[in-house]
Chains A and B, each alone.
Chain A
Amino acid sequence: MPIIDMRNLTFTYTGAGKPSILGVDILVEPGEFVVLTGPSGCGKTTVCRCLNGLVPNFYSGEMTGNVKVTDLDVRKTSTMELAKYVGFVFQNPENQLFSLSAERDVAFGPENLGLPRDEIRRRVDWALQATGISNLRNMAPYELSGGQQQRAAIAAVLAMKPTLMVLDEPTSFLDPKSAQEILDVISRLNRELKITIFLVEHRLDAVSRYADRVIVMDKGRVVLDGKPFDVYGEQAWLIGVGVPKVTMLFRLLRKDGISLDSIPITVEDATKELRRKLTS
């Protein structure tokens, strides 16, 4: 049974002239690591909002089609019930943090699940450590930089131990090294705890190595869906997807008439292929 089951979903925000998403089909199996990408304004955030019921329960509008998450119909399930299974990290961490310390923010979710005190403490420690902000636990959100805030927001979701995590560009505000660390953390949650990951991301160079699948949207529709290697072709590039630089380099070289056996998605694979060519 898919953990995300979105079929023929169309949604138009109240007051908008045209639908933000149009006939979207997305199926995600438990344990998958799926990356959703596409040009700005293509409907990625709206898809995410459909997964925790913010659309249409909070952002009103007209919805047709079906969306089920962990077998629950999003429209008929309360946000509180969904929150037990689906963790959501927003684009902007400031919208997510509200306490006077990072620690309080992270404890908020588990407290509301009614967990015993010891368990809450354990989860808070673990989540703060996993996101590398144990030393910032007593800081208020406004004392943290953008990147540190996003880590706190991720920690707050982690502490709920969700079965599905939906992350809407969680690394945007992070410096490259912290972004890599966060992606490592997300990947570990996926591998070790089998949490299903649904990640919206522009920076495909950093995330490609972890993704089982990449879905590309354009103008409200899903236009590509497959393994990273299969998706990063000419079409993705033309739409405006940030195909990894090494992938682009190899495609350009092929255009220049250079014969290359494979098109890499990581620097390591690119290095191997070029070394072979240059030393042969």
Chain B
Amino acid sequence: MIEVENLCFTYPNGKDVLFNVDLKVQDGEFVAIMGENGAGKTTLVRHFNGLLKPTTGRILVDGNDTRKSSVASLARSVGLVFQNPDHQLFCETVKDEVAFSLKNFGYPEETVERRVRGILETLDLMSYIDSSPFMLSGGERKRVALASVLVWNPKHVVLDEPTIGQDYQQKDRLRNFILQLNTQGKTVIVVTHDVEFIAECKPRVIVLSTGRIVGDGPAVDILTDEQLVNKASLVRPQIAKLMSSLSDVGLPTNVIDLFTARSVLASKLERI
């Protein structure tokens, strides 16, 4: 469990970023943190593996206070994938990159090999196993960064803007993969602006705006709340806009994903 208690954070330059944030993420939950550029989303999640320490308040990861634990020990249970893969990648081949953490944790050679191949297959990266990460496209580098964290199987996975630069098929794959991780009992926390992606995943959504939590609830409730969505510089998903603008002719307003919209409309239109 990740517990955030009355967290305030001020950068050394004096910039206040987070104000009295209270938050509890249970083991095995799937949570999206959404909000405008500069809202403090990245700053918040960097507290989860101890990269940043609270100015006041505290963070407990599985009961351990992050101020009293090292990043190295926290990282085993909290895997954080950065927004910008170039902040994370440094090895000469994709294989070395993804194997790096496992080798450091002291796993035997065969286990490392098996796990690396497994994760590269899942993320459609096998054909690049011997390529330099820097020869890959932006979207592919992003997936290598993801692979290099997921490979050590952390209990809590935090993904900072995982869909940037990913095409539709990759997003679909990512969504299935996240849902799969979640079914395995992992906590998944996603920082994102991608309302269309979240509309299809439907996790619990926490809305952060100017350093404060302004909304917390199921995706369907949050992403159809026009006022709240506007406040956090988001937009409603296309399907939500479509359905709500047709509520006067009998369409439900609590639909945000393609699948549900299709079945609602198909049954309505069949009768015409």
- Please give the residue numbers on chain A whose beta carbons come within 8 Å of chain B beta carbons, in ascending order: 13, 15-16, 38-41, 44-45, 91-92, 94, 143-148, 169, 172-180, 202-203, 205, 237, 240-246, 248-249, 252-253, 256-258, 267, 270-271, 274-275, 277-280
Contact = CB atoms under 8 A, between A and B. Distances in A.
B242 A169 contact: no
A274 B242 contact: yes
Contacts of B88: none
Contact of B262 (A39, A92, A252): A252
Interface in B35-77: 35-38, 42
A274 B246 contact: yes
A174 B37 CA distance: 7
Interface residues of B, number: 53
B110 interface: no
Among A16, A40, A41, max chain B CB count under 10 A is at A40
Nearest to B166: A40
A249 B262 contact: yes
B37 A202 contact: no
B136 A41 contact: yes
A143 B14 CA distance: 11
A219 B251 CA distance: 41
B179 to A, nearest CB: 19
Interface of B: 13, 15, 35-38, 42, 83-84, 86, 132, 135-140, 161, 164-171, 193, 195-196, 230, 232-235, 237-239, 241-242, 245-246, 249-251, 258, 261-262, 265-266, 268-270, 272
B82 to A, nearest CB: 11
B36 A178 contact: yes
A256 B266 contact: yes
B238 A172 contact: no
Among B13, B15, B140, B269, max chain A CB count under 10 A is at B269
A175 B258 CA distance: 22
Among A202, A245, A248, A270, max chain B CB count under 10 A is at A245
B264 to A, nearest CB: 10
The 6 residue pairs across chains A and B that have the minimum distance between CB atoms:
A40-B139, A147-B37, A240-B169, A145-B38, A242-B168, A177-B233
A245 B196 contact: yes
B140 A40 contact: yes
16 contacts: A15-B132, A41-B139, A44-B137, A143-B13, A143-B15, A169-B138, A177-B235, A179-B193, A180-B235, A202-B166, A202-B167, A205-B196, A245-B258, A246-B242, A271-B242, A278-B268
Contacts of B235: 176-177, 180
A277 B249 CA distance: 10
A274 B38 CA distance: 38
A147 B137 CA distance: 20
A248 B172 CA distance: 14
A246 B137 contact: no
A249 B168 contact: no
A1 B250 CA distance: 53
A94 B84 CA distance: 10
Given A38-B167, A92-B138, A245 B238 contact: yes
Contacts of B251: 278
Contacts of A175: 35-37, 193, 232-234
